[in-house]
């Protein structure tokens, strides 16, 4: 069994799986919506993660009528939401640790994330 991120599928296989023309996959690549890996012979290889991303692209374009520029924005926002959710999960874990230990040793606990600060506790 291959890992979720391992590029193993040729463009013809992916096109068949998704019932789309290989040229559509090339267009998604040109638009920057998907970035397949390349073999030394420059053949495109897609991972299961790439395929799931293309399924989302197809759902947005076919079922919801979103154009490719809109799809790009939706995908960027989804990535930002996913990153923020990871930060929230990390902060919850930190808060849980503090709560288990009973007290905070300073007047405020500050966790620095990315380019902003989130104050967890403040007196």
Q: Per-residue pLDDT tens for 16-32?
A: 999 999 999 999 999 99
Q: pLDDT value at position 2?
A: 77
Q: pLDDT value at position 99?
A: 84
At 81, the pLDDT band (50, 70, 90 cuts) reads very high
Q: pLDDT value at position 118?
A: 45
Long-range residue pairs from 68-72, CB within 8 A, at least 24 positions apart, any chain: 68/27, 68/28, 68/31, 68/33, 71/33, 72/31, 72/32, 72/33
pLDDT tens digits, residue range 89-121? 999 998 988 888 765 554 455 555 544 444 443
């Amino acid at each position: 069994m291959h890992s979720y991120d391992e590029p193993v599928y040729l463009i013809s296989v992916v096109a068949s799986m998704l019932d789309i023309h290989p040229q559509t996959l090339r267009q998604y690549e040109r638009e920057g919506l998907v970035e397949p890996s390349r073999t030394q012979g420059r053949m495109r290889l897609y991972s299961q993660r790439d395929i799931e991303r293309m399924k989302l692209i197809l759902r947005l374009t076919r079922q919801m009528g979103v154009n490719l520029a809109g799809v790009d924005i939706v995908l960027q926002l989804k990535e930002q939401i996913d990153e923020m959710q990871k930060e929230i999960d990390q902060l919850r874990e930190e808060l849980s640790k503090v709560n288990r230990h009973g007290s905070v040793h300073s007047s405020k606990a500050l966790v620095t994330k990315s380019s902003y600060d989130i104050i967890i506790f403040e007196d």
